[in-house]
Structure 1
Amino acid sequence: MSFDHRPSSITVTSKPENRLLNITRFLHGRRCDESLQLAVKKVQSTFSPSIIGRIVAFLTPSFLQARHARDQDHPPQLGPTAYLNGIRGVACLVVFNCHYANYNYDIAIAWGSGGENYNFPRLPIVRLLYAGIPAVCVFFVISGYCLSYKALKLVRSRNGQDFSATMSSLIFRRGIRLYLPTTFSTFIIAWLLRMGMYEWFREHGQNKAYFTKYDPPVRLETTSMQLMHWANTVFSGFQLSNWRDPVNYDRHLWTIPLEYRSSLCLFLVLYGTARLRTFYRITTLSIIMYIMYRESRWPHLLFLSGMAIVEWDHHRGAHATNRKATRPIQHALEATLWNIVSFLGLYLLSLPFTFDRATPGYGYLTSLTPKWWSAPAPFHWHSIGSVIFVLASGHSRLWQRFFTSRIVQYFGNISYSLYIVHGAVTTIGCLWFNMLVRTVTGVEGYWGFFGFFLSYCFATPLNIWCADIFHRAIDIPSVKFAKGFEGKLMGKI
């Protein structure tokens, strides 16, 4: 009796690559044809354990990966200016807090404004946990500091050849560094618009009972129109003579063109003053800063202020390895003084945008704003406060210990990615949960705040996770691409 065509005649194998093929043979009761076998092998290769493992590893946050655990056993040595990276990370997290809270609350109102609004979160310094504009000002000062630190160090050592190479590299790579990640992010947003990912919640987002502000990007009629609009949006960021905010797919990215223009201004000043002696270089810098101040160009002023702080730090030997020891009493007095100064900067940074003359402290402070200052008054005091705080942090071991902690340094590493992705992630992935929770808890009083807090606890990890992925997938490769692209185009002078 022949058993050639019975299913039981199939040879059982434990090899993973043959299991799916055996199942197919069993179902057909005969041998698979050659095309089916090729299709099966293709499916197997696509969903092989190695591919799935790579996908899982890619989606796993970096701080949960085995490589990160090894790094924690042997953490890298932090540089003398690592605290600035921590400040940048905290500032970016504050920007996220600002934009998320702004969906549910009017966060611009000052404590005591209108004889009411005496909520604890509106108090000076406390409100900095969600004050976005002050965080941007701090970010600009730090950017000016970091971009000019190495260049000024080379200037002071009279190393003209390395200075020219450093400045050439900074100027060439700056636009790529800022715009390549945002080009990717806005392109993704454009395609998400075409897929309808923004449409299902658009009507709910306009419900004023739940949201005080909701401004998603506009979906155009056709894909070609959408992509043309996206391309024009990307290009508008490079228009140096256009001081209007570009029409953006992510309204939170309004600072990127300002940062690019301010960077070019800083590079011009660095190049123009490089051959001057220190006194004349600082004098020239002060004159240019005063011109920017009178023109109310606060972004340029903050970048140049970062350069001025670098000059001061180099002058006092802030990052020297053989610093002169000070007496314990003198050291304690200096530390206390600079900590007090840092809180003065935080107080100035706490100035809200909505206040009246009766607002304690700030009513009088805003009366001191120069009449010729054309930008909103808070930008004036936020600029001063951000410079004071960054300057004081460079003298304060207390602040530096906090900003160099591991978790704060992690936020510093993903800060640009978090800034880029949090708008789209919040709009698409978080607001539905915000509305769902507050439907249960209500939107008023303590229960309303509790519902907001629960939704915040959901939105924050989700945004951090997406920022971590974007950092590894887009941000780091963008930096490497800019450096490699420059190397391929580089010639001898």
Structure 2
Amino acid sequence: MGIHGSLRKPVEEVHMSFDHRPSSITVTSEPENRLLNITRFLHGRRCDESLQLAMKKVQSTFSPSIIGRIVAFLTPSFLEARHARDQDHPPQLGPTAYLNGIRGVACLVVFNCHYANYNYDIAIAWGSGGENYNFPRLPIVRLLYAGIPAVCVFFVISGYCLSYKALKLVRSRNGQDFSATMSSLIFRRGIRLYLPTTFSTFIIAWLLRMGMYEWFREHGQNKTYFTKYDPPVRLETTSMQLMHWANTVFSGFQLSNWRDPVNYDRHLWTIPLEYRSSLCLFLVLYGTARLRTFYRITTLSIIMYIMYRESQWPHLLFLSGMAIVEWDHHRGAHTTNRKATRPIQHALEATLWNIVSFLGLYLLSLPFTFDRATPGYGYLTSLTPKWWSAPAPFHWHSIGSVIFVLASGHSRLWQRFFTSRIVQYFGNISYSLYIVHGAVTTIGCLWFNMLVRTVTGVEGYWGFFGFFLSYCFATPLNIWCADIFHRAIDIPSVKFAKGFEGKLMGKI
């Protein structure tokens, strides 16, 4: 990935050069003298040395090599020749690649949620208030644009991925490699999460100063077209803006401030939660590493119950990911020497886990706005524990996300879908899409949304058709920008964290 060099082959060119006499025409094979000779013809005198250097600089700046690199950089990675070769010889996927696919789909769902939320109240349940019986609000169907359930799935997968290698080393009693792995995870986690978001919010701060948010700010407040529009605030001076941006960035590291708002991109509210939950997970991994398996799992269960009683759902989901890893290692889910099962038994198990996965999806479908008459969910929410202090949907979304990730690990059906090429691509750019879609949508897409819906109207089927047309414009644009951000910022951030750790690392 990255900026590709020019693929031009050098060719000999023949150019005409002119002196101060129009009738004098000579031939040269030196392209760099072209502009100089034209200048001599126009002015009738030799250019001085400074002008020569300036001309050469202009020519090198706009050379085909530079233009080719810019075009290659702006080309989506899936259109590059290297990617086409990968299609003929796709890389071998690891046993947990389906988790990357789940993450990619979840990120696309988050984008759908935020984009639809500009035009519709997406939190309303199917059948609530004796109306709202339209198809997109049905359980499971609504997961196509349900952002909070997708975030819960994110957290379970993060806990799984962060603890997978560490627990594998614990079970093999490889203490030295375990310590090295945990040290690397702890050191690089903050860089991995915050370096890309630092770049993105810095870009947003400068876009604010350039007035990129101002031209549409008044239109965005038009309630006829938008149900919600809250762009970042433009302060009076650049210095005030940058100081405010710096305070916002550093506030993400505050371990005691659990509800700190993110001022430059409200969609990044999950990043501080991810960081704090990661540190909690690392502490549990370290604290239980030397325990025998039974006592380690028992200790983990007690800690998870404490988090459950305290309604700390982000911590609970990360630790649930660790618990699923323990189960997968125990059953040998990712080994080649698994015990063979009879076809009938295998079919029954597959069917059972597919049913369980849909139970998880049903729980994830619980909306935030419902009433007791809402079919199914009215009764379900009545079962929410009285001591649960977070909103009731977080309780059931947490349970549903754990069930779905657990069931996906047993389901060949889901794994085939999540390891498909397009889904894996979304998994690769998922973090970048999550980071950039807020700014790209606000600056680059909402004007088209308003333009189209001015023609189609905002109500009924034609209003939805206008929304769908604008969505078809916004989605490729966001994917394209995410692809660029992934290659320009995200991948280099990962490499920087690894290289920076290597520079500082010493022997123990």
Q: Please classify the TM superposition score into its range, dividing by the shorter chain length.
A: over 0.9
Bigger mean CA offset, 67-76 vs 134-143: 67-76
Identical amino acids, percent of aligned pairs: 99
Determine which of 77, 88, 113 is the counterpart of 2:128: 113
Bigger mean CA offset, 22-31 vs 335-344: 22-31
C-alpha displacement of 1:13: 3.9
Call closer, same or farther: CA 1:335–1:26 in 2, change over 3 Å. same
Call closer, same or farther: CA 1:29–1:402 in 2, change over 3 Å. same
Paired with 1:3 and 1:286, the residues of 2 have a C-alpha distance of 85
C-alpha displacement of 1:34: 2.5
Call closer, same or farther: CA 1:333–1:219 in 2, change over 3 Å. same
Paired with 2:447 and 2:80, the residues of 1 have a C-alpha distance of 30
Determine which of 296, 303, 310 is the counterpart of 2:311: 296
- Asked whether the 8 Å contact 1:248–1:254 carries over to 2, the reply is no
Q: Deviations over 1:109-135 (max 9, x none)?
A: 000000000010000000000000000
Paired with 1:102 and 1:378, the residues of 2 have a C-alpha distance of 18
Paired with 2:364 and 2:197, the residues of 1 have a C-alpha distance of 28
Query: For structure 1, which runs of at least 5 residues remain unmatched after alignment?
Result: none
Paired with 2:78 and 2:462, the residues of 1 have a C-alpha distance of 34
Call closer, same or farther: CA 1:2–1:449 in 2, change over 3 Å. closer
Call closer, same or farther: CA 1:108–1:3 in 2, change over 3 Å. closer
- Asked whether the 8 Å contact 2:160–2:318 carries over to 1, the reply is yes
C-alpha displacement of 1:20: 2.7
Call closer, same or farther: CA 1:334–1:21 in 2, change over 3 Å. same
Q: Which residue of 1 is the match for residue 409 of structure 2?
A: 394
Q: Which residue of 1 is the match for residue 40 of structure 2?
A: 25
Q: Runs ≥4 in structure 1, deviation > 6 angstroms?
A: 1-4
- Asked whether the 8 Å contact 2:104–2:429 carries over to 1, the reply is yes
Paired with 1:474 and 1:5, the residues of 2 have a C-alpha distance of 51
- Name the SS of the counterpart of 1:371 in structure 2: coil
Q: Which residue of 2 is the match for residue 272 of structure 1?
A: 287
- Name the SS of the counterpart of 2:410 in structure 1: coil
Q: TM-score, normalised by structure 2?
A: 0.95
Q: Deviations over 1:114-158 (max 9, x none)?
A: 000001000000000000000000000000000000000000000
Paired with 2:50 and 2:456, the residues of 1 have a C-alpha distance of 58
Paired with 2:256 and 2:64, the residues of 1 have a C-alpha distance of 53
1:54 aligns with 2:74: no
Paired with 2:257 and 2:458, the residues of 1 have a C-alpha distance of 41
Q: Deviations over 1:184-213 (max 9, x none)?
A: 000000000000000000000000000000
- Name the SS of the counterpart of 1:31 in structure 2: coil
Bigger mean CA offset, 3-12 vs 453-462: 3-12
C-alpha displacement of 1:181: 0.3
- Asked whether the 8 Å contact 1:101–1:130 carries over to 2, the reply is yes
Q: TM-score, normalised by structure 1?
A: 0.98
1:490 aligns with 2:505: yes
Q: Deviations over 1:29-65 (max 9, x none)?
A: 4433332221110001111111111111000000001
The count of residues paired between Structure 1 and Structure 2 equals: 493
Call closer, same or farther: CA 1:40–1:2 in 2, change over 3 Å. closer
C-alpha displacement of 1:23: 3.0
Paired with 1:216 and 1:152, the residues of 2 have a C-alpha distance of 43
Paired with 1:263 and 1:248, the residues of 2 have a C-alpha distance of 23
Q: Deviations over 1:258-297 (max 9, x none)?
A: 0000000000000000000000000000000000000000
Paired with 2:372 and 2:418, the residues of 1 have a C-alpha distance of 36
- Asked whether the 8 Å contact 1:167–1:267 carries over to 2, the reply is yes
Paired with 1:244 and 1:30, the residues of 2 have a C-alpha distance of 70
Bigger mean CA offset, 132-141 vs 63-72: 63-72
- Asked whether the 8 Å contact 1:7–1:29 carries over to 2, the reply is no
Paired with 1:417 and 1:37, the residues of 2 have a C-alpha distance of 44
Q: Deviations over 1:356-398 (max 9, x none)?
A: 0000000000000000000000000000000000000000000
Paired with 2:402 and 2:233, the residues of 1 have a C-alpha distance of 37
Q: Which residue of 1 is the match for residue 368 of structure 2?
A: 353
Call closer, same or farther: CA 1:21–1:140 in 2, change over 3 Å. same
C-alpha displacement of 1:70: 1.3
C-alpha displacement of 1:75: 1.1
C-alpha displacement of 1:324: 1.1
Call closer, same or farther: CA 1:201–1:3 in 2, change over 3 Å. closer
Call closer, same or farther: CA 1:19–1:321 in 2, change over 3 Å. same
C-alpha displacement of 1:5: 3.2
Call closer, same or farther: CA 1:437–1:15 in 2, change over 3 Å. farther
Paired with 1:202 and 1:10, the residues of 2 have a C-alpha distance of 59
- Asked whether the 8 Å contact 2:155–2:314 carries over to 1, the reply is yes
- Name the SS of the counterpart of 1:12 in structure 2: strand
Paired with 1:284 and 1:3, the residues of 2 have a C-alpha distance of 86
Call closer, same or farther: CA 1:334–1:40 in 2, change over 3 Å. same
C-alpha displacement of 1:6: 1.9
Paired with 2:393 and 2:30, the residues of 1 have a C-alpha distance of 69
Paired with 1:247 and 1:341, the residues of 2 have a C-alpha distance of 36
C-alpha displacement of 1:14: 5.8
C-alpha displacement of 1:352: 0.3
Paired with 1:371 and 1:160, the residues of 2 have a C-alpha distance of 43
C-alpha displacement of 1:74: 1.4
- Asked whether the 8 Å contact 1:10–1:22 carries over to 2, the reply is no
- Asked whether the 8 Å contact 1:393–1:399 carries over to 2, the reply is yes
Bigger mean CA offset, 238-247 vs 349-358: 238-247
1:449 aligns with 2:460: no
